[in-house]
């Protein structure tokens, strides 16, 4: 359970959905460590969450950085991997170096984080990794991130049979409302969000709170393992 006395590590927790989930953890009375590439910025964001939050640096493309993070942590009850590197890449104008850097972070980096966390997991430990709809519904420029998101599902399946009793699951958000970036959207982007909302069966997009609820479910339900929970309000059906 995520409750008073437990410790959740959120890699990629200084902004976006990772930060929103960290906020939920603190509301539960649990400790949370949030990380970003910039340690100073991560500490500042942690201060905004209150005394239960700690900020630290972690660069998923740098194994030493990941090792240093977990060397300073006593116990990990739950690990959430939400870090994302957006690489707009196409096959026509393919940039292999940019693709390799993003894939290193999103796949090898995620796996390395679990490796370094293994000795620190509590008996009821669990992991949630963020994937994305682009693995099924690619869009122009999503060549790299489509590969990375698909790779996350393979990694989840592999780790679930490698690291028991630690459970490993994935969450796949759709187009999400209720984050600072969406709330600040200009007119053009607001129209795009509305068009996406109209594509969903119930004419609503998932919110950041919906994603946090899904992640919390995956962390806390002991009967769920090697599962990918899609939170897109049914958009993948239409």
What is the architecture of the domain spanning 7-176+207-227? 3-Layer(aba) Sandwich (3.40)
| pLDDT single digits (tens) 45-79 | 999 999 999 999 999 999 999 999 999 999 999 99
Contact indicator for 17, 173 with CB cutoff of 8 Å: yes
pTM to 2 decimals? 0.94
Query: pLDDT tens for residues 179-228?
Result: 655 555 566 677 878 888 898 998 999 999 999 999 999 999 999 999 99
Ranges 153-157, 208-212, 215-219, 234-238: which has the least confidence: 234-238
**Separation in Å, CA 12 to CA 19, 34, 38, 45:** 8, 7, 11, 12
Q: Whole-number mean pLDDT of the chain? A: 93
d(CA 88, CA 130): 18
């Amino acid at each position: 359970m995520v409750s008073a006395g437990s410790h959740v590590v959120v890699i990629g927790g200084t902004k976006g959905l990772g930060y929103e989930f960290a906020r939920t953890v603190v509301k539960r009375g649990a400790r949370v460590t949030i990380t970003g590439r910039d340690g100073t910025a991560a500490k500042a964001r942690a201060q905004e969450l209150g005394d239960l939050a700690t900020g630290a640096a972690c660069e998923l493309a740098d194994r030493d950085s990941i090792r240093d993070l977990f060397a300073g942590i006593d116990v990990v009850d739950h690990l959430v991997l939400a870090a994302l590197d957006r690489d707009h890449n196409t096959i026509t104008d393919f940039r292999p170096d940019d693709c390799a850097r993003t894939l290193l972070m999103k796949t090898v980096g995620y796996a390395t984080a679990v490796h370094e966390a293994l000795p620190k997991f509590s008996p009821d430990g669990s992991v949630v990794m963020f994937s994305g709809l682009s693995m099924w519904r690619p869009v122009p420029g999503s060549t790299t991130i489509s590969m990375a998101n698909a790779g996350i599902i393979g990694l989840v399946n592999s780790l679930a049979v490698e690291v028991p009793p630690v459970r490993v699951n994935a969450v796949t958000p759709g187009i999400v409302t209720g984050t600072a970036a969406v709330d600040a959207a200009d007119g053009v982007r607001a129209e795009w969000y509305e068009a996406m909302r109209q594509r969903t069966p119930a004419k609503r997009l998932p919110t950041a709170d919906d994603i946090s609820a899904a992640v919390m479910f995956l962390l806390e339900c002991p009967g769920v393992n090697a599962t990918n929970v899609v939170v897109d309000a049914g958009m993948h059906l239409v």
